[in-house]
Amino acid sequence: MTAFEPSPPSSVPLALRTRLDTTTGEGAQAGAQVRLRRTDVDCDAESKAMLLALAGEIDASNSGWLTVQLSAMITSASTGHAGAAPSSGVIIDLTRVRFCDASGITALVKASKHAENMHLVLELAGATGRVDRILRLTGIDDVLTLHAEPADALKALCSPM
């Protein structure tokens, strides 16, 4: 696996990012590795969105870990953290995900259902190649909105209804 680049995705303007930027460790002891980074992004003066960037491969060896991590971060987004206001939604950035099997799709669907239960919108962004193809073949694009870039998902999430 190539090293996870610590810089936030370039498609989200620097002016919108807040200082919180955390990286959570490897998703499995053996087998495929997935990394998760959280960044809070300002929508406007009163609302934020949470950007969860994944990198690596998502499969049966790490999808359970990923499900737990996504659930915790979605709960944090809905309740606010460290005195911050709750987020208006969550974007899962798949730009650096190279592989995703059925267990990874299950983790994303569980995250979506948890976000819905927490009254948050969850958007997927940045899937390319095999990952985009498997998401569309399985029909996840009928359940969740897939955006080409994280910036597109942010724009959709932060736009007034």
- Containing H/E element for 88? strand 87-100
**Residue-level pLDDT at 88:** 82
Half-sphere exposure of residue 80, counting CA atoms within 13 Å on the CB side? 7
| Residue whose token pair is 């807040």 | 18
Contacts of 121 (CB under 8 A, 6+ apart): 88, 89, 90, 115, 157
Considering the entire predicted model, what is its pTM? Answer: 0.80
* pLDDT, position 109: 95
pLDDT tens for the chain, residues 1 to 161: 333 334 444 455 544 444 444 455 555 445 679 999 999 888 876 778 899 999 999 999 999 999 999 999 999 888 876 666 678 899 999 999 999 999 999 999 999 999 999 999 999 999 999 999 999 999 998 989 999 999 999 999 887 65
Residue 113 CB neighbour total at 10 angstroms: 14
C-alpha 1: how far from chain center: 19
